[in-house]
A and B are shown apart, each in its own frame.
Chain A
Amino acid sequence: MVTLMVARQVSVGRVGAVVGRNVGALRSGASYWLVLVSGFFEPLLYLLSIGVGVGALVGRIPLGDGRVVSYAVFVAPAMLAASAMNGALAETTFNFFFKMKYAKTFEAILATPVRPIEVALGELTWAMVRSSFYTAAFLLVMAVMGLAEPWWALAALPATMLVGVAFGAAGMAVSTFLRGWQDFDLMTAAQFSLFLFSGTFAPVGGYPPVLAAVVQVTPLYHAVELVRGLALGRVEWALAGHALYLVVLAGLGLWVASRRIQRVLCS
């Protein structure tokens, strides 16, 4: 139903124009390029430090299904999922908020035939492109380092794109509610807490039960489980559940975001 309603309003060309604006902005500043490209190194450094460095102290870690893998193999997919999240959020929170509130970019765009949902879709597409760029490079590194089988790495790529879309949409929705830069401290705090406690560095099974229960409701947990399952070649029905969670999050985020853009900018 929602899909149909959305489909009737949306023009691919206009969404493309919104994406095109971002590509244009990319070309205009050398520093934006550098910032964008260097974003890839962050998860890689974490992988080397925690995965390889701390991994040497940990040795091997049980996956819970009887299999035991090296710590780096365990951590790498989580870094990948976190990288998809961070890449998408960087675009749909900081940059989105700036364009909405300060640069008045959307105000200018909405003065044309482009609709709020198309702005939201365009921004989200761009966020996904950015995040996929990071994850594809990261998957390559994983395959080269022997942390994932090449075919499973390829299978994990669409999963990371879904993660990017889900977090991108959710981040965009949240950004429309932010009052000012001071709220970003909260946002960063939430993002970092997710990063530390989503079964990223240690299996959720080892968490205290209460914490484990809370973690299982949060989005990065599902992202990590989905990506880890695919990257390690553990296909099971639970993966579908994690994927569904992310699809719902994406739809909800997109719906809220476009309603809010409409509300804030078109009234």
Chain B
Amino acid sequence: MAHPTVAVLERHLTLYKRLWRASLFSSFLLPLLFLVSIGLGVGGYVGTVEGVSYVEWIVPGVLASTAFQMAVGECTYSVLGEFKWTRGAHAMFATRVSAWDMVRGWMLYIVFRVEVAAVVFLAVVAAFGVLASPWAAVTLVVVGLLAVAVAAPVSAFSASIDHDSYFALLFRFVMIPSTLFAGVFFPVEQLPALVRPLAYASPLWHGVELCRAATLGVAPPWPVWVHGGYLLAFGVAGLWWAAFSFRKRLQD
């Protein structure tokens, strides 16, 4: 008998088959446009960063931030809608599917989406010869981990709010600052010492550093297990919170 988690994943894939066109730009085109505009455009005026060209330096950052932005973007309106507008979550919960199955099926779907985007991105940049090391393949594991670490708590948040205007605040105070200051565009060492811990707290920074270490074939600033462990801890806590808030929302 198929596991309920699998049934949930299947549902999201079926929906994606219908709605994939809408995500083409944000999943595939946007990261490449960013790379061209900032990496090449601005990069032309930058010498080298940490010993490599600016484009090479920024590629892993854009990759990780794409995973990050997808994880946030996919887990806001769609998750709230499942509870508030289409009530798809209620439909699932009327069957043997549990809140925990819903969270797991949803996370598998997000990881699938992020991995597809990451593979396409890596293929394009590899074709332009911007990947220095075969270790770049490891970034696929990193972005998967990063996706869960971000998608789980964001889904939990979306399931616990009642109005979608909170999303604008999530985007402005969490997503955009993370994208801009977590080492994607410039090294976090440039940040004033006072705000640097904020960057360290963001799962995106750990994802960026691991990806950068992989594509450049160097060691990350902190031990690999610290970066990985941080993402893992974030993900586990997020999953727990998501299961909790899904169940709470469905039961009363």
Contact = CB atoms under 8 A, between A and B. Distances in A.
Is there a contact between chains A and B in the complex with CB atoms less than 8 Å apart? yes
Interface of A: 29, 31-32, 34-35, 38-39, 41-42, 45-46, 48-50, 53-54, 56-59, 61, 71, 182, 185-186, 188-189, 192-193, 196-197, 201-202, 206-207
B54 A46 contact: no
Given A31-B166, A46-B180, A185-B25, 6 more contacts: A32-B165, A48-B181, A58-B46, A59-B45, A202-B42, A206-B45
B177 A201 contact: no
B176 interface: yes
Contact of B37 (A29, A38, A186, A196): A196
Question: Interface on chain B toward A: helix, strand, loop, or mixed SS?
Answer: helix
B33 interface: yes
A185 B20 CA distance: 12
Given A46-B180, A201-B37, A189 B29 contact: yes
Interface stretch (B98-106, B128-136, B167-175): B167-175
Given A42-B176, A202-B41, A57 B169 contact: no
Contacts of A196: 33-34, 36-38
B30 A57 contact: no
Interface of B: 22-23, 25-26, 29-30, 33-34, 36-38, 41-42, 44-47, 49, 54, 163, 165-166, 168-169, 172-173, 176-177, 180-181, 185-186, 190-191
Contacts of A58: 42, 45-46
Nearest to A71: B45
B165 A29 contact: yes
A200 B47 CA distance: 20
Contacts of B23: 185
Given A41-B172, A58-B46, A202-B45, A53 B37 contact: no
Contact of B168 (A35, A56, A189, A192): A35
B22 A182 contact: yes
A87 to B, nearest CB: 13
B205 to A, nearest CB: 13
A116 to B, nearest CB: 28
Contact of A201 (B41, B165, B176): B41
Nearest to A60: B45
B186 A35 contact: no
B186 A45 contact: no
B26 A185 contact: yes
B54 A45 contact: no
A179 to B, nearest CB: 13
A38 B169 contact: yes
B35 to A, nearest CB: 10
A186 B29 CA distance: 12
Contacts of B165: 29, 31-32, 34-35
A64 to B, nearest CB: 13
Contact of B169 (A34, A45, A50, A188): A34
14 contacts: A34-B165, A38-B173, A49-B185, A49-B186, A53-B181, A53-B186, A54-B42, A57-B46, A57-B54, A61-B45, A185-B25, A192-B30, A196-B33, A206-B41
- Interface core residue of B25, B41, B172 (most chain A CB under 10 Å): B41
A57 B186 contact: yes
A197 B30 CA distance: 12
B22 A185 contact: yes
A49 B199 CA distance: 12
Q: Considering the complex of A and B, which 10 residue pairs feature the smallest CB-CB distances, nearest first? A: A49-B180, A202-B41, A196-B37, A31-B165, A53-B186, A189-B25, A35-B168, A57-B46, A58-B45, A185-B22
B197 to A, nearest CB: 17
Nearest to B163: A31
B45 A45 contact: no
A41 B168 CA distance: 12
A99 B124 CA distance: 41
